[in-house]
Amino acid sequence: MNIKRNVLLNPGPATTTDTVKLAQVVPDICPREKEFAGLMKNLRSDLLKVVHAPEDKYTSVLFCGSGTINIDVCINSLLPEGKRILVVNNGAYNSRAVEVCEMYRLPHINLKSSIYEPPCLATIEETLKANPDVAVVYCCHHETGTGVLNPIREIGALAHKYGAIFVSDTTSTLGMIPLDVVEDNVDFCMASAQKGLMAMSGLSFIIGRKDIIEASKNYPTRSYYCNLYLQYEYFEKTGEMHFTPPVQTIYATIQALKEYFEEGEAAKFARHRAVYDAIHEGLSELGFETIIAREVESGLVVSVKYPDSPNWDFEKVHDYCYERGFTIYPGKISTTNTFRLCSLGKIFPEDIKNFFVVLKEALEFYDIKL
Ligand SMILES: *Cc1c(COP(=O)(O)O)cnc(C)c1O
């Protein structure tokens, strides 16, 4: 089978290998069969290995849905009665967590700060000191909207110092930037199979502390489908997901994890870095400006300013590149017009070189001068 290879420069779903794509083509199986539960058991324990989570203290709980389901589940399930959640908010994905709090009418503090920088640790500490009823601190590892990497180890340490648990949305770093949940002070992290693991969309997972999940049994239940304890308990009892799992996506994820361990944590990190460096190099050669300082960038997303040229039209440039196998993506910053180039997926610096040949052609074709 010959499948066209597209280079996805959007922040997920990412470019996958053919072997991952083809892993979905399997004989039909009822996911209530023991055989399928066995596959999920290994998958769940492999997910723990990706973030170096000790099996005795941490577990992974799978959900059928896109990555946002994890945000919903963690927030609605992990807040004890009468307590508050502190969202350290420097961008669109942390704002999504605030929206979840609002939707469930949960007491929360929206600690907003500049989207161009990581949050200020001293301000977080002051907020925790002044609000002893904060039981959950929440912050994205990587604000995918801008490309800013947040200091989660330090934020987690502050949460623990003030007796709160730390939940981090690691959707756009897990499997790409090495993460050690114990050393990084992360009680709960999350991702979906389509991003760092380079599998398919439809499977999301939360990795977190068993003792806290057990304690959450007695917290108010705020959702039927999206409750962490209920899903965990079902896995513990039966080895299965409570409701129908995304069967084929699970096969793809198992293959993707095999390839993840074959490539290796350090080598994969280095490859994403090399792709990121190639993105910056190509941009500066063409005269594009980026908006986030490189010292605080994750190395996975680059936010690029629209050029001043009157002929610039993102849609047209996008379509030109898309027709030639390269997908670029709009920005997520309300104050500046940007687009994003990302280093997720099974792509290589060579792909970025080829992309910039096409982008240069597009600029010439539409007479866009930088
Ligand atoms: C991609 C992403 C999500 C999930 O988005 P979905 O569209 O629901 O898959 C959540 N958080 C972050 C930081 C992300 O990058």
Question: Residue 116's pLDDT is what?
Answer: 97
What would the pLDDT profile of 197-225 be if each residue is shown by its tens digit? 999 999 999 999 999 999 999 999 999 99
Question: Residue 104's pLDDT is what?
Answer: 98
Band of the pLDDT at 311, cuts 50, 70, 90?
A: very high
Mean pLDDT of 144-164: 98
Q: Is the Cβ atom of 227 under 6 angstroms away from ligand 1?
A: no
Q: Is the Cβ atom of 92 under 6 angstroms away from ligand 1?
A: no
Select the CATH number that applies to the domain covering 25-261 from these four: 3.40.50.2030, 1.10.10.10, 3.50.50.60, 3.40.640.10. 3.40.640.10
Longest dimension (CA), the chain: 63
Band of the pLDDT at 336, cuts 50, 70, 90?
A: confident
Band of the pLDDT at 335, cuts 50, 70, 90?
A: confident
CA–centroid distance, 171 to ligand 1, in Å, is: 6
Report which residue type is found at 45.
S
Mean pLDDT of 174-180: 98
Mean pLDDT of 168-182: 98
Residue 144 · residue 172 · CB < 8 Å:
yes
Report which residue type is found at 145.
G
Assign a CATH topology to domain 264-365. Answer: Aspartate Aminotransferase, domain 1 (3.90.1150)
CA–centroid distance, 251 to ligand 1, in Å, is: 21
Instruction: Looking at the CA of residue 204, tell me the nearest atom of ligand 1.
Output: 9
Question: Residue 332's pLDDT is what?
Answer: 83
What DSSP assignment string belongs to 44-83?
HHHHHHHTT--TTTEEEEEEES-THHHHHHHHHHS--TT-
Strands 338-342, 301-305: parallel, antiparallel or unpaired by DSSP? antiparallel
CA–centroid distance, 364 to ligand 1, in Å, is: 34
Q: Among 70, 144, 249, say which to mutate for ligand 1: greatest number of ligand atoms within 8 Å of CB.
A: 144
Domain range list for the chain: 25-261, 264-365
Q: Among 192, 194, 298, say which to mutate for ligand 1: greatest number of ligand atoms within 8 Å of CB.
A: 192
What would the pLDDT profile of 104-125 be if each residue is shown by its tens digit? 999 999 999 999 999 999 999 9
Residue 148 · residue 91 · CB < 8 Å:
yes
Question: Residue 135's pLDDT is what?
Answer: 98
Instruction: Looking at the CA of residue 194, tell me the nearest atom of ligand 1.
Output: 9
Mean pLDDT of 228-242: 96
Asked if the model's pLDDT at residue 236 lies above 90, the reply is yes
Q: Is the Cβ atom of 63 under 6 angstroms away from ligand 1?
A: no
CA–centroid distance, 67 to ligand 1, in Å, is: 5
Residue 125 · residue 88 · CB < 8 Å:
no
C-alpha closest to that of 76 among 287, 184, 231: 231
Give the DSSP H or E segment for 319.
helix 314-322
What DSSP assignment string belongs to 261-314?
HHH-HHHHHHHHHHHHHHHHHHHHHHT--BSS-GGGB-SSEEEEEPPS-TT--H
Q: Is the Cβ atom of 172 under 6 angstroms away from ligand 1?
A: yes
Average pLDDT, the chain: 97
The number of helices, as runs of H, and strands, as runs of E, in the chain is 12, 14
Q: Is the Cβ atom of 171 under 6 angstroms away from ligand 1?
A: yes
Question: Residue 1's pLDDT is what?
Answer: 73
| Vertex 359 angle, CA 354 and 364, to 5° | 130
Question: Residue 334's pLDDT is what?
Answer: 80
CA–centroid distance, 68 to ligand 1, in Å, is: 6
Mean pLDDT of 267-281: 98
286 burial via Cβ count (<10 Å: 0-12, 13-18, 19+): middle
Q: Is the Cβ atom of 204 under 6 angstroms away from ligand 1?
A: no
Strands 329-330, 338-342: parallel, antiparallel or unpaired by DSSP? antiparallel
The Cβ-side half-sphere exposure at 212, using a 13 Å CA radius, reads: 24
- Which segments of the chain does DSSP mark as H helices, in order? 18-22, 34-50, 68-77, 92-103, 121-130, 152-161, 210-215, 228-238, 247-263, 265-286, 314-322, 349-365
Q: Among 96, 169, 174, say which to mutate for ligand 1: greatest number of ligand atoms within 8 Å of CB.
A: 169
Asked if the model's pLDDT at residue 193 lies above 80, the reply is yes
Band of the pLDDT at 2, cuts 50, 70, 90?
A: confident
In sequence order, the β-bridge partners of residue 85 are: 108, 136
Question: Residue 16's pLDDT is what?
Answer: 98
What would the pLDDT profile of 29-78 be if each residue is shown by its tens digit? 999 999 999 999 999 999 999 999 999 999 999 999 999 999 999 999 99
Q: Please name the residue whose Cα sits nearest to atom 2 of ligand 1.
A: 171
Q: Among 88, 152, 169, 171, say which to mutate for ligand 1: greatest number of ligand atoms within 8 Å of CB.
A: 171
